[in-house]
Amino acid sequence: MNTEIKKFRNFEITCHTVNTLVIGSGAASLNAAASLHSYGQKDLIIATSKWGGGTSNNAGSDKQTYYKLSLCGEHADSVAEMAKDLFSGHCMHGDIALCEAQGSVEAFMNLVRLGVPFPQDKYGGWAGYKTDNDPRSRATSAGPYTSKLMFQVLAGEVKRKRIKVLDRHQVIALLTDRSRSKAVGALAINMKTKDPLKAFVLVSCMNVILGTGGPAGIYETSVYPVSQSGSVGMAFKAGATGQNLGESQFGIASVKFRWNLSGSYQQAIPSYFSTEKNGRDKREFLNDSFPDFLSLTRAIFLKGNQWPFDPRKIKNHGSSLIDLLVFREITEKGRKVFLDYTRNPSILKGESFSFENLDRDVLDFLAKSEALKDTPLERLIALNSPAYFLYREHGIDLAREPLQIAVGVQHNNGGLKGNIWWESDLKHLFPVGEVNGSHGVYRPGGAALNSGQAGSLRAAKYINAKYNAPAPGPDDLIRESGEQIESKLIQAEMWLKSGKSSNNRLFLKKIRRRMSEAGGVIRSLEKAKTALAEAEEMMKYLPEKTGAGSVKELAEAFLLNDHCMTHLVYLDAIKTYIENGGRSRGSYLVTENENRLPDDLADHKWEPDLCRYDREIEKDILEIGFRNEGIVKKLMKVREIPVQDLWFEKVWKDFVQDNIYGC
């Protein structure tokens, strides 16, 4: 890597020249960086807004899941079967599903080798369990902190390999060549610098690996950790295309300390109650919508393995009825909702909690897990004591206080589109991890972490084999993308001159509220249209009204504008889907054809209008991008799973001759 200082307008800019810039330090970015280094390309740097920030190092659940090919005795499995299961989630390209299935063993074993403690029996068997949308037992877990453990071992690997990390560097723009066909660099702000005129950092590179995670910063009600913001807006601005953007997962989570409440947290069968904002009028509101104790406790229990809200699971007192009732209690009635682990769900229509009143499967599960205990807390500890202690570590004792919850956004199945080497349509840009929208409508729990690892390995392989030339220096970069750099510097000058950042928080709040209201779990055309019009308006006035008085505020101002761009593109995708007849699916309910939700959500006569994949907008993948200051959209046919020619001699020859890097 070469480093030099260049003068540009009034700024003294630090310029690095490197083959590959890796943006972000989540599990996907770190794996990409460490793998690239192992394959032989050592000319790389990582730029990250916060080392240890992001989702991987700060999020989890009762037993955070990693999805991979089944690798233990009694579960027959194959790459083809796993690819089919990923593909069956709808709107996922078959070749990507195949790569994720094929890459899962290599990626998983890499983590094992690096030290993630995935459990094995004494014969070396990788025991598995079933997760949501998983017909086999492909899931494994290293406990509540699987992705944190992944971050730790991968961070260790990056340190061991002495890969240079530019910490507290927020990338604010991806730079392209003049024809806007490929990524050639990036502009960042070094937030450790005090002087704004010396804070800009320019990276000239052959390749950008983008691992900036999910679009957490645009939502108000969220399970994403506070340290994750995402910044996919700059990729849209540079010309990369998004796909399946409307497909996010929503579910029940704690709000004081954001954490996913799946698995044991529900299998322990806590009681749900709500209060007015001031804490008065405590009510077990679920009781109004369930006919008996058995169906109520079964729905709570099932929420454990059916965590994301799913409109197919509302009817007949399904587990997703609970998400809707919680959502309604909070957003429509303005109440607060809590889980109480000190008390069982109380009397319902004359029945009280007793093991005889439980569904047979529920009883069986608790008995086998040696968790037939008197209170939800005792059951939780018997099922999974780390799940209890992690709240204690975050200052919440479930033995003493109820846990406030909401239905929050956790993961975006969509994101930037990539080919089978995870390269976007903006060449030399490789979105990896959550920012790569490889998933379709449904995905098995744990497939996000697998995709991040399998995809980042493939990106590293491709770069090492095909894009390994040294990058041109900063003068060439400035010649190629000087206008793009200059426009950011002019913007910075303008914001610094105004000095005022007081409005920034207010605008951010507006973006987040708008997204949670129009792009959340309950959607309608009217809401999406209004929100989109507001977002378009905001795109026009925001650059003028943003301000900054310091380097930190300058970085925040760029991020705010990035979020504005992101929410504009996401809202357009959501509106377009509904406007063209898209119905409820994935993790949201489209109320278009019901006008409004019925008062009684448990009414057996009410049928959510479910997606049947018989309309273009439902069958195809909605691609959306930003070109010449406007949104462009198209529907893309789903590519089938390719038929492989695995004749060994042929594969061997292609491999040796480097002929495998086509698309």
Q: Which residues bind ligand FAD (CB under 6 A)?
A: 23-29, 47-50, 53-56, 59-61, 64-65, 147, 170-171, 211-214, 223-224, 228-231, 260, 410-411, 433-434, 445-449, 452
Nearer CB in complex with ligand FAD: 562/592: 562
Assigned token pair, 81 = 């079967």
Nearer CB in complex with ligand FAD: 23/602: 23
Nearer CB in complex with ligand FAD: 127/525: 127
Q: What Å distances lie between residue 401 and 272, 343, 346, 418, 534, CA to CA?
A: 13, 11, 17, 45, 40
Query: How far is it, in rounded angstroms, from Cα 622 to Cα 616?
Result: 10
> Minimal distance in Å, beta carbon 488 to ligand FAD?
13
> Minimal distance in Å, beta carbon 503 to ligand FAD?
21
**Whose CA is closest to 261, among 367, 380, 358, 342?**
380
CB atoms < 10 A from the CB of 490, how many?
11
Nearer CB in complex with ligand FAD: 569/601: 569
CA end-to-end distance (rounded Å), the chain:
30
Query: How far is it, in rounded angstroms, from Cα 187 to Cα 171?
Result: 6
Radius of gyration of the CA atoms of the chain, in A: 25
Cβ proximity of 522 and 591 under 8 Å: yes
> Minimal distance in Å, beta carbon 591 to ligand FAD?
26
Nearer CB in complex with ligand FAD: 242/433: 433
> Minimal distance in Å, beta carbon 114 to ligand FAD?
15
Query: How far is it, in rounded angstroms, from Cα 102 to Cα 99?
Result: 5
Alpha helix locations (H) across 185-274?
Answer: 233-238, 264-267
- Which residues have C-beta within 8 Å of that of residue 376, sequence separation ≥ 6? 268, 269, 270, 271, 340, 341, 342, 343, 344
> Minimal distance in Å, beta carbon 88 to ligand FAD?
18
> Minimal distance in Å, beta carbon 140 to ligand FAD?
11
> Minimal distance in Å, beta carbon 268 to ligand FAD?
18
> Minimal distance in Å, beta carbon 164 to ligand FAD?
14
Nearer CB in complex with ligand FAD: 424/576: 424
Nearer CB in complex with ligand FAD: 393/645: 393
Can you count the helices (H) and strands (E) in the chain? 17, 21
State the SS3 of 257-304.
CCEECCCHHHHCCCEEEEECCCCCCCECHHHHHCCCHHHHHHHHHHHC
Which one-letter amino acid corresponds to residue 154?
L
Cβ proximity of 254 and 261 under 8 Å: yes
Query: How far is it, in rounded angstroms, from Cα 64 to Cα 165?
Result: 28
Nearer CB in complex with ligand FAD: 54/242: 54
SS3 190: strand
Query: How far is it, in rounded angstroms, from Cα 248 to Cα 410?
Result: 7
Assigned token pair, 130 = 């079933």
Query: How far is it, in rounded angstroms, from Cα 15 to Cα 17?
Result: 7
> Minimal distance in Å, beta carbon 305 to ligand FAD?
12
Q: Angle 91-97-100 (CA atoms, 0-180°, nearest 5)?
A: 140
Alpha helix locations (H) across 88-194?
Answer: 94-114, 146-160
Nearer CB in complex with ligand FAD: 228/274: 228
Nearer CB in complex with ligand FAD: 47/86: 47
Nearer CB in complex with ligand FAD: 209/622: 209
> Minimal distance in Å, beta carbon 77 to ligand FAD?
18
Which one-letter amino acid corresponds to residue 452?
G
DSSP labels for 582-649?
Answer: --BBTTBEE-GGGSS--S-TT-TT----B--S-SHHHHSEEEEEEETTEEEEEEEPPPPPPPP---HH
> Minimal distance in Å, beta carbon 27 to ligand FAD?
5
Which one-letter amino acid corresponds to residue 617?
I
- Which residues have C-beta within 8 Å of that of residue 113, sequence separation ≥ 6? none
Nearer CB in complex with ligand FAD: 50/84: 50
What does the DSSP 8-state code read for residue 105? H
Nearer CB in complex with ligand FAD: 212/524: 212
Query: How far is it, in rounded angstroms, from Cα 424 to Cα 411?
Result: 20
> Minimal distance in Å, beta carbon 133 to ligand FAD?
12
> Minimal distance in Å, beta carbon 656 to ligand FAD?
33
Query: How far is it, in rounded angstroms, from Cα 374 to Cα 342?
Result: 10
Which one-letter amino acid corresponds to residue 565?
M
Nearer CB in complex with ligand FAD: 446/608: 446
Cβ proximity of 434 and 135 under 8 Å: no
Nearer CB in complex with ligand FAD: 170/587: 170
